[in-house]
Every structure is written in structure tokens, then in C-alpha cells.
Amino acid sequence: MLQTRLADAPLRTRTHEKVWGKRLFWLTLCLSLLIDTGWLGLVDAQYRLRTAHWLWTGAPPVDEEDSSPFVLTGVNGTRHSWYGLGQSVLMLPGDLVATLTIRATGLNASEKQNQLREFIVVILTFPLLAAAAAYALYALLLRLGLTSTEAFLSVLVALFATRLLNIMQIHQEDIHLLLFLAGATYWLLRWLDDKRGLFLGLAAACFGFNLLTRLTTGMDVIVVTTAIAVLLVREQKLSWRDAIQTRTKQIFLIFVPVLLLFVLTDRLFHFYRFGEWTSTYLGLVAKRVLSENPGWPASWPWTYPFWKGFLEAFYSPLWGVIFFDPLFVVSALLFAVGWKEIPLRLKVMALALGVLWLGYAAFYARYYSPPGFTAWGNRYLSVPTILLSALALPAWLTLRWRASTIKAAAFAAVLAWSIAIQLSSIVLHPNHEILQSGALEQQIQSAATGQDQAEARIDYFPTIFRRFQNIVTMIREGVLDSEFQPHFFAVRALYAKSGGAYVFPPYVRQGVLIAWGVSFVGLLILIIKFAREASSQRSVGYAEGVAPKLLHRE
């Protein structure tokens, strides 16, 4: 066994890790470009782009006539959207390029100008974020003890068998929350191994940037740093007192100040817009809504029954993790069954992600829309769900030595079903199934007024099955003629109409569809080729009757 591992040692060199990391980055970038919608879609990202544009041009952050609930009146009567600064900062470079490009072309039509600017921002921003998130997850898995090929295969599984594929397409904040949480955990693990203050500062910066988007990042900080503390004690055989003393100086001189700098940035941005230091945007929204609706419960927006919301995060056919993320369930079962055989770092990280998932589920359980309105599954739980699901393959590789043929077939079946679910998620917009179920309107009405949603007339037919039905309907009626139309930009642009007629002639539409399909299939073939190569080079040796141990990274 030792000879096998020593023979495979060259595969763990930095060069080999970089090769597989670069492949993963470019594959993810190309995949993201092919499945992109070409527009921001949901209203959250659209408002955040307006904020990004306001930051450097001084243009109005929202339209004066905008009376939507996403807008608040701030200092000096200026109206602002209620979102944090994080995603706006990420879209700022793309907006700068897009605006200057449009000015250079002399395009004056306002509607066309905004559409073109949005398209350029989307293409320049979100595919890069997706590729960076995949690479950050890859780097994290290396630090958890996987080899480069194991980490590559694990991220591929996460790309196609978890909700990561969907959040690459929808342009919500989830993709950068995943990027920076994975990045923060990676840098903390490097600091654990190398004691360099730079790594600790980078981890704090990653946490801090997510804090500019969601204040629930505080849970991430508590859970992940606790996991790192446990590893410090267990790996270095120290007492808790000694472990804390050895790192206290760096924590208070680097980690805390950097994190507080981002907290101050968030508060300054909030004060500049709304003139308050200690409030949150959700608190301001609640104050406005309750003043306009005096009959609503004083606890709004925390009006959903707690246990109903918490348990539905598991089992609801409209957004529950059991239906949308079967690999998450498999990952949890693998760690529960093989706890003693799985390496320490993987166990501690899985436990931390499980606690984080439960914490998020509990926090959003009473929110009047627990799953986050129009989303594929529960979008508030996307990040811990993806990260824990990504550990399913590493856990399986550790336990595979004692798996029966039936268990292997079951794992393969769940993996195939997960891939089918996630591939279906990118074909159509999630609004279709949500509107069909009646969940959106009834959920808002019942939860907002404090009524139990059980009284609402909602069709609880599983969303994923409804999605498959809609895809079949789309194919039967014709891709460009069905009410269910593909969500990809390359296809969406083809069914644009002017005066009731298609803008593009039939031969152009057919040609673009064929080209897009060939590109997508070609990319999948390349991914399969790399996956087979990685599988054949996998540096875990299997000796009959002996459980392989993932190497601890020095």
C-alpha cells in the first residue's frame, strides 16, 4: 500500500495540480457561456446593476416612478434599492466596459442601450465568477487531502449533479457567495498548515466580501472558524488553551481588523443611503410595509410557521433538498455510515457544513418566503447544499473498497438522477413551475398576512416532475413555438419577434441551434474525456480488503 502511494506521489506535485485546475477553470467558463441566459433575469440582480452604475456615474440608482417594494426612500429623499453592496461591486468592471463601449458606438436608443449594457455585463461577469468558484472549490478539496484528479472529479460531480449548474445561470448572488466561502475556508486551511498571516487576512477578506451581500455571513464565520479550531487541536495534538494561545496574536492583529473593515464598509454604505448605522435593509422594508398595511402581523416578514418552514427545507416537493439535491442526502448518509474510516479533515468539514445548513434552514424558516420566491429549490440554502454535496464523491472513494455491487449501482443511479435533475434546471426558467403550482401568489398572500400556508390552495405535485413534463411539452410543440421556451441566450435570441414575425429567417435560426447544440455536445465530450483521464490517473491505490486513506497535506 505504501509503495502504491509513493509511486503515485508525482501526481500530487504543484504542476499536476495546476494542470487539472486550469482544465477545470476553462471547462467551467465555456460551460457557463453556453448555458448563459444573456440577461440578468430576476429583479434582484437588475437593481444591483443599477447600483453599480450609480456608484461611478452618479445616475439615479432607481427610476423615479419605481414604486416597487424593492425600493426605499433614503437620505435627502433619494430612492435606493434595498440590497447590499457586494454583487454591485462585482458587476462594476463589466458595467464600466459596457457603458464605455456603448458610448463609443453612439447607440442612443435607451431600451436597446440598456439591453446591450446588461448583456455585456452578464457575459463579462458571471461566467468568470462561475469558473472562479469551481477553481476555489477545487483548491479547497486539495487542502482537504484529495489528490488533483480526485478533486477534479469531485468538482465535475458538483458542476453537473448539484445546484451549482443552476446558480451558474441565474445570476443571483449565490455564485459569488459560494466562491468566497470556499475561498475563505481554503485560506484558513492554508493558514492552519503554514501559519502565514497573509492567508489569514485573505480568509477574512473573503468572509468580509460576502458580508457586503448577506449579514448571515456571520454564521459562516462562526461555523468555519470553529471547524478550523477543531482541526488545530486534533491535528497538532494541542489542548484548547495552547491552540488558542499559539494563534491569538495573528487573529487579533489580522483577522479581526480585516473583517471589521468590511463591516465598517457595509455600515458606511447603509448610512450614506438611509442615514442609519444599526438598522438593516430588511428592517427598513418591514417598517415601510407595516406602515402601509396596519393589519399585518407586527412580526412581518417573519410570519411563516417555524417548524413548517424548517421541515419543508427537507421534504417539500416544491423546494425540499430531498427532491432537488439527492446527492446531498447521499453525502450525509456516507459520512454517517463511514465516519470512522473517513479522514479527519473531510469529517470536520462535512460536520461544519451540516451545522451551517441547519443554521440557515432555521434562520429562514420563519421568513415569509422560506425558499426565496422564484428559485430552483431553496436558494437560501444553495451554498452549504452544494459544498456538502461536493464531498459525496470523496466520501465514496474512501469507502468504495468495501462497497458491494448493489451499493455501487445505487450510488451510480443517484448520481445519474441528480445529473438529470440539474440538467433540467437550466432548460427553462423556474417561474414556469412555480406559477403552475400556485405557490408564488398563495405563498406571498398567506405568509404576508400571517396565515398558515396550509390554508392556501397550492398544487404540491413535485416541481422536478413538472419540469420534465414541461420539457416534453416544449419538444412536442416545437422549441420556438411552445410556451415553454429554452432559457439559453443562443436560443432565446432566435425567437425574438418584431411585428408578430421572427426577426431572424428560418435558416439562421436552424443554423444557430445546430451550432449551439454541436458546441454543447462537443464540450460534454471533452469533459467526459478529461473525466476518464482523471479516473485512470487517480492516485488512490486500492489494495484488496484495505481501506485507502486520503493523504494528509503537509
User: Which of 374, 381, 376 lies closest to 441 in space, CA to CA?
Assistant: 374
Which long-range contacts link 55-62 to residues 24+ away (Cβ below 8 Å)?
55/88, 55/89, 55/92, 56/92, 56/95, 56/96, 57/99
If you write DSSP's letter for every residue of 403-438 in order, what string do you get?
A: --HHHHHHHHHHHHHHHHHHHHHTTS-THHHHHHHT
- Look at residue 446 and tell me whether its pLDDT is greater than 70: no
User: What total of structural domains would you count in the chain?
Assistant: 1
Q: Are 260 and 211 in contact (CB under 8 A)?
A: no
Is 548 part of any domain? no
Is 489 part of any domain? no
Residue 45 makes CB contacts below 8 A (sequence gap 6+) with 87, 91, 171, 172, 173
Residue 467 makes CB contacts below 8 A (sequence gap 6+) with 424, 425, 427, 428, 432, 433
Mean model confidence pLDDT for the chain: 85
3-state secondary structure of 72: strand
Residue 112 is predicted with a pLDDT of: 66
Give pLDDT tens digits for 382-418.
Answer: 999 999 999 999 999 888 766 678 888 899 999 999 9
Residue bearing cell 443552476? 166
The cell numbers describing 511, all together, are 443554423
**Averaged pLDDT, 112-120:** 82
C-alpha dihedral (331, 336, 337, 339), degrees to nearest 10: 100
Is 142 part of any domain? yes
Is 282 part of any domain? yes
Is 503 part of any domain? no
Residue 202 makes CB contacts below 8 A (sequence gap 6+) with 183, 187
Strand partners, 546: 543
Give pLDDT tens digits for 184-235.
Answer: 999 999 999 988 999 999 999 999 999 999 989 999 999 999 999 999 888 8
Q: Are 422 and 161 in contact (CB under 8 A)?
A: yes
**Averaged pLDDT, 455-471:** 81
Is 272 part of any domain? yes
Is 92 part of any domain? yes
Residue 104 is predicted with a pLDDT of: 82
Q: Are 36 and 122 in contact (CB under 8 A)?
A: yes
Expressed as residue numbers, the domain containing 355 is 2-467+521-537
Distance (Å, rounded) from C-alpha 202 to C-alpha 64?
Answer: 40
Distance (Å, rounded) from C-alpha 335 to C-alpha 350?
Answer: 8
Is 501 part of any domain? no
- Look at residue 271 and tell me whether its pLDDT is greater than 90: yes
Residue 482 is predicted with a pLDDT of: 74
Distance (Å, rounded) from C-alpha 510 to C-alpha 58?
Answer: 43
3-state secondary structure of 81: strand
Residue 485 φ/ψ region, left for φ over 0, alpha for ψ in the -120 to 50 degree band, beta for the rest: beta
- Look at residue 451 and tell me whether its pLDDT is greater than 50: yes
The cell numbers describing 233, all together, are 487541536
